[in-house]
Structure 1
Amino acid sequence: MTTPVRPSDQTPAPAHGPASAPLGVAAIGYAFMGKAHSNAWRNVASFFDVPAFEQKVLVGRDAGSVAAAAAKYGWAESATDWRSVIERDDIHVVDICAPGWMHAEIAVAALAAGKHVLVEKPLANTIAEAEAMTAAAEAARANGVQSMIGFNYRRVPALALARELIAEGRLGTVRHVRAAYLQDWLSDAESPMTWRLRKETAGSGALGDIASHAIDQIQHLTNETVTEATGTLRTFVARRPGPHGPEDVTVDDAVWATLGLTGDVSASVEASRVATGQKNSLRIEIYGTAGSLAFDLENFNELRFLDATVPVREQGFRRILVNEPEHPYLAAWWPQGHIIGWEHTFTHQIRDFLTAIQEQTPPSPSFEDGLQIQRVLAVIEESADNRGVVTPVLQPTFATQGA
């Protein structure tokens, strides 16, 4: 993985590319994720030393809406045909923020055209699509073309610090992890249908949308790999109002899973988009032989750490306010004591991706990592269909990039 920025590594290697010209960036998609990514592209160079780039074009299906978004988000122009955009010589980076069903076609074409590709998670809607994307990424990598999947929570400074503490052995041997990602935006049965509630466009519901984040964090924090899974899926609201009348919901509202990992680590995952009162709560607890860590996304700048090596009378979870220059990424931002927020994870993500392109090193998480997550999601679905049978996770044949 690209190393989180610290005071000692603010100066990147010399830029490379066509005569060191600025990298031309195209983003595909301008809704929720397109807005978050656009904000990161617009701000990253103000805080981090990154190779020169230009926000060339924002792509969307509605000409009027995407033109308005491009002007608002800092893009030089807009377009409605992504195929013609990736053929342009002045486009070097393609950032895919479109719905999951479009990921594979766009990414494979962009990589074949020699463009560096960043794509939102989950990698694809099916294993077959994810495999095609990963094969395309592997072939492109041989020609110096980089690719990365956008699991932005890897760039939360508190979680990056948690990973460092685990790697340093501060928790001893990790035994088990609990992760719960809870939202409530679908709690109301009258909430209307969206593409996220149709399997053909979203692939899955809470499973791919938010449980994928939890699973990625479990593996990333522990540096272990899921090898088996048992899962349960539930759809609480089977039909929702559509533009032409009620429509069937064909994805899950909530998921529960138990995971087995390498290193004899066990983990539990819960994800729901109907958890009334929970707005965007990702809670992670890691328990080891020598200590424990706890994090909640709704307390973004805080990490809880228990040191079990001190006498029992001194033990207890202590609060680490993660906003010192010595913490990952934070040297670039404000004086200590001044907190940052959710949107900064995307800025960190763009910083790491641009640095990887500049230094010609494979960024992380790679498409191989995304494929592995896709296999875990598929196994959880299979287990749910089989009413809880423990199912092994078939490991990809590709070498995983960037532990």
Structure 2
Amino acid sequence: MLPFPNGTLQLYEVEQRVTMLLRIQMNTFRATALLGATLLLGACGDEDASEASSATSTVSAISLFSTRVVQEEMVKPVVGTGTIAAQKTTDVGPLVDGIIEEVFVRVGDRVSDGDKLFKTRDIEFRLRVQELQSQHRLAEAEARNSTRELERIKELYAKGVSSVGQRDNVQTKYDIAQARLGVAQARLDAARQGLADTLVTAPFDGVITAQDIYEGKFMSTRGGGGMGGPSGVVQVMKIDIVGAIINVPEIFVGQMSVGMRARVYIDGIDGVYDSVIHIFNDKVDPSTRSAEVRVGLANDDYRIKPGMFTRAEFFPPARDVLTLDRTAVLGIDGSHYVFTRNTAGRATRVPVRVTQIDTGRVEIIDGLDDGAEVLIGPSLSALVEGMPVLIETRPGETPISTAGVR
């Protein structure tokens, strides 16, 4: 230790003590300030959280109504489209080869069974008939003569005047004459039939819907007009009964059966035609994925025309389905959903699968059960998952308890 005078040593110790006290006071102040800042920041955080919580708790509930899923027995029509077809359609051609000499009808004419349609030139057929008539008379004369000779030779043979050989010879001549008469008769009948076939008549009651050949055209029974031309002179349709040929999507084929009730609508004709399925084609067209059904329709006034576009509704047996108000369903195809209210009174989004029934209802396929409460109302589109919901009761309506959500 360095030697200090007594007064100097005392002064140095005082200065050291003062410096130490100042440092202690400074540290104490810093600690106090830090603690105060920490407490202040904590107080601010609590205040913000309290304000946020207060803001959340003050969000007003959205007022909506509620509806329910209802199970009901429903007959959902199966709809298909198609075309009207005639009961029968025939392209009537000539029965014999020759030149078309006269056509007695025109397009639009109504004909009855047996009415004249057209005629093939018949001069050659008439001459042929005359020729064969003469041959037939000749054969008849020969047959009569052989018959008399046979009777006479039998008498002579019985008296022992003629021999067995003579009798057999006359018998042979008789058989030949009878055969020739038969051939002549057959040829004459064929010629007469050919002459009759030059006149063609309507095969049934109907209307003429086409004429492909006019007078002067040679027509063959084998090749029509030749060179790939039409085989018919006129077309006849039987339309006092017509058929609605309807294509039904293959997904409904299992519901269709002969005798099922049908309702047919035809473009351009007011009114509805009630009928049943008369024919069901078991084949499904792989290109259209549809099956063909045929519905017969009475058409005594010929008002329905073949080729008209038609739409039909078919009514399979009734089945139990879950239905819901269409306005309660939100979203797009493949992503439909509804809102329900949970026990905390907040909105819950529920995915559903639906199919359209009509303009006001949908069928619930999956997602909800019978009696489930579903939110509905003008503010539904503004609803978000978790938002508080206030369900208002419509006049005369009983509140619905939450149930039925899968």
The question of a shared fold, defined as TM-score above 0.5 by the shorter chain, is answered with no
- When Rg is computed on C-alpha atoms for both structures, the one with the higher figure is 2
Bigger proportion of residues as helix? 1
TM-score range, shorter chain: under 0.3
Name the TM-score, length of structure 2 as normaliser: 0.17
Q: Which has the higher contact order (CA 8 A, sep 6+)?
A: 2
